[in-house]
Amino acid sequence: MLSRLYYGWWIVLGAILCNFAFLSVSQSSIGVFTLPMVDDLGWKVWQFTLGPSIAIGTGAFSSIVVGSILDQRGPKPLIFIGASMSAVCLVLLGIQSSLMVYLFLYLIAGFVGWNLFSPFVVNSAVNKWFVRKRGWALALGSSGISLGSLVTPLILTGIVDNSGWRTGYFSLGVFILILIIPVSFFMRRTPEDHGLLPDGIDDYDDPSSLDIPESEFRPLNRSEAINTSSFWFLAFGFTLIAAGLACVLIHAIPFSQESGFARTVGAIGISVNGLANLSSKPVWGFAMQRFHPKFLVMVAYSISSIGVSLMLLSGPISLIPMLLAGFFLYGFGFGGTIPLSESLWARYFGRAHIGSIRGITQPIRILGTAVAPVLVGLLFDITDTYRPGFVLVIGALLLGAILVFLSREPQMNES
């Protein structure tokens, strides 16, 4: 079943496809649907945004259990169930016209839908298959996130603008069935299940294994991890970062329109973000082989903060190149999110219980990413401008990066 090509790279391929699909249905599509649905159904922006935020929030409850299943059974059953439920919910979202039904469907989709093939699931799987080459594997696997930002907004905007938002939801449902169901069948739990070691090395006496962190040999379990200060620095730091990044991605198109640019310019901006995100992967993969990831976190989100600042400055002077430059810098820093965060979690706490450890952090992270976009939408409804919300996004990115920078690798006596 396992060819001479190390099977971990098939896991990376699965991560690329799942990350692409997850971002497409959970975030990149939201800005495309916002104004067409709000105008057609007479909703407020914050009411529409509440649906995706509920999906993020309900995913927090399932993640605690999902993490343990991931450690014990692997990603295969999770991805199959998640893809099936997501397809059903997306089709029904294209049929409904009721706010309560809309919110309920997003609740189900978040709880047992796309959360089951989310970056949390597939990147935890990648972590189990790689140690020394983890930076490159995570950078490559997370390119699916970049593709979701690059490809989906342009294609989906064309579908929605020409055939309506209902057709847009139907298209996403078919897309998930065709792409993710097959992926579930070749995902596996750990290399040890197949008589292999991480990275495809022959044994731990291999010279290439000399830089393997101590956590690989003495991993922490969930109860030990939560008793370390580093757990909380990482949890709250990456929560603030994820919340800030999600706000920009979800509100990018309406922000561009409110700033005086055409709707298509906002869609192009998201695609520029995706291009920058994708092009940054080799940079982060290369840098992670030479520098500690927590130093790179400061670099990544300083770049993203500068990008959001340029986006804010572009509106008053109606300068499209500045807006697109802002999207590019935001996306370039964004590109480091998965490889940097996942690498730090595995480096600090080891592979063995990474699913359950990451699962317990999801309620914290997901609460932030669920509430933040609603608050930005509410601020817009109150002030008729996105400027206050996007200033808060800059603060969240920088504060989150500082918290991660203050973390350190746990000592055994600390746990």
Give per-residue pLDDT as tens, 3-50. Answer: 478 999 999 999 999 999 998 999 888 888 988 999 999 998 888 988
For 98, the token pair is: 């009721």
3 in a structural domain:
no
* Whether 309 contacts 328, CB under 8 Å: no
pLDDT, tens only, 150-195: 788 889 989 999 999 999 999 999 999 999 999 999 999 999 888 8
* Separation of alpha carbons 117 and 386, rounded Å: 31
Q: How many domains does the chain have?
A: 1
Mean predicted confidence (pLDDT) in 376-393: 87
pLDDT, tens only, 273-330: 878 988 899 999 889 888 889 999 999 999 999 999 999 998 888 788 999 999 999 9
277 in a structural domain:
yes
412 in a structural domain:
no
* Whether 311 contacts 390, CB under 8 Å: yes
399 in a structural domain:
yes
Choose the weakest-confidence range: 20-29, 200-209, 275-284, 366-375: 200-209
pLDDT, tens only, 217-262: 677 888 899 999 999 999 999 999 999 998 888 788 888 888 888 8
138 in a structural domain:
yes
321 in a structural domain:
yes
- Which pLDDT belongs to residue 164? 94
Domain that holds residue 144: 8-405
413 in a structural domain:
no
Does residue 415 surpass a pLDDT of 50? no
Does residue 413 surpass a pLDDT of 70? no
1 in a structural domain:
no
DSSP secondary structure of 248-317: HHHHHHHHHHHTT--HHHHHHHHHHHHHHHHHHHHHHHHHHTTS-HHHHHHHHHHHHHHHHHHHHHHHHH
* Whether 302 contacts 244, CB under 8 Å: no
pLDDT, tens only, 342-358: 989 988 998 888 888 98
- Which pLDDT belongs to residue 2? 46
Choose the weakest-confidence range: 199-213, 278-292, 324-338: 199-213
CATH number (domain holding residue 306)? 1.20.1250.20
Confidence of residue 333 (pLDDT cuts 50, 70, 90): very high
Does residue 214 surpass a pLDDT of 90? no
Does residue 376 surpass a pLDDT of 90? no
- The answer to pTM > 0.75 is yes
